[in-house]
Amino acid sequence: AQSVTQLGSHVSVSEGALVLLRCNYSSSVPPYLFWYVQYPNQGLQLLLKYTSAATLVKGINGFEAEFKKSETSFHLTKPSAHMSDAAEYFCAVSEYNNNDMRFGAGTRLTVKP
Amino acid sequence: DAGITQSPRHKVTETGTPVTLRCHQTENHRYMYWYRQDPGHGLRLIHYSYGVKDTDKGEVSDGYSVSRSKTEDFLLTLESATSSQTSVYFCAAAQGRGTEAFFGQGTRLTVV
């Protein structure tokens, strides 16, 4: 079955600094990959998704992610962090021939003033 | 929340009692999912459905069952609640494979 591993349960950056959240996936077939964000006491909402079109995917709020098949990675980046980016971020994977969707353990992003 | 409603939003129940959580969607999504969220574990898939009466087990299905008799409703039942099932439960729905999943607001369940 497919799975994702998120490296780093907590990431702290200063406001204006680069944000890098890491995700590696395991899949035997081409995957669909997603990044979701969760603000406190809320459900998850989609930031961006990869579905085998462009390898560099742009999402909402200035986030983007690059699919690297050779590294089985789908890391999330944002050039300049804002205080409002503080949240928990989840990477998720689904396979084109599978009906389920699996999530990673999440990375909590803290943004320092 | 794209029309995903979970009920109840909060529940406290006693060990050994059955509990049913309801997820209702208004967008006619084919796929529906139940996850539990626990610190350090992220979201773990309990069960999912890919159509009316079509369901399958996820990563942590022991002690849980589901039913989907209508497109819009997906029920999660804890057959005999245990303290280890204290968690926040999220329902999600998606149009198809590889499409965006829309999440409900979650149900906080405490088993005492």
List pLDDT tens digits, range A9-68: 999 999 999 999 999 999 877 789 999 999 988 889 999 999 877 889 999 999 999 999
Give the tokens for residue B58: 């996820």
What single-letter DSSP state applies at residue A113? -
**Average of pLDDT values for B27-54?**
94
Minimal Cα–Cα distance from B41 to chain A, Å? 5
pLDDT value for B6? 97
**Average of pLDDT values for B69-94?**
97
Tell me which chain B residue has its CA closest to the CA of residue A98. B97
| CB-CB under 8 Å, A9 with B40 | yes
Residue with tokens 């059955």: B18
**What DSSP string describes B23-82?**
EEESS--SEEEEEEEETTTEEEEEEEEEETTEEEE-TT-TTEEEEEEETTEEEEEESS--
Q: How far apart are the first and last CA of chain B?
A: 30
Contact assessment for residue A47 and residue A38, using Cβ atoms and an 8 Å cutoff: no
Minimal Cα–Cα distance from B16 to chain A, Å? 28
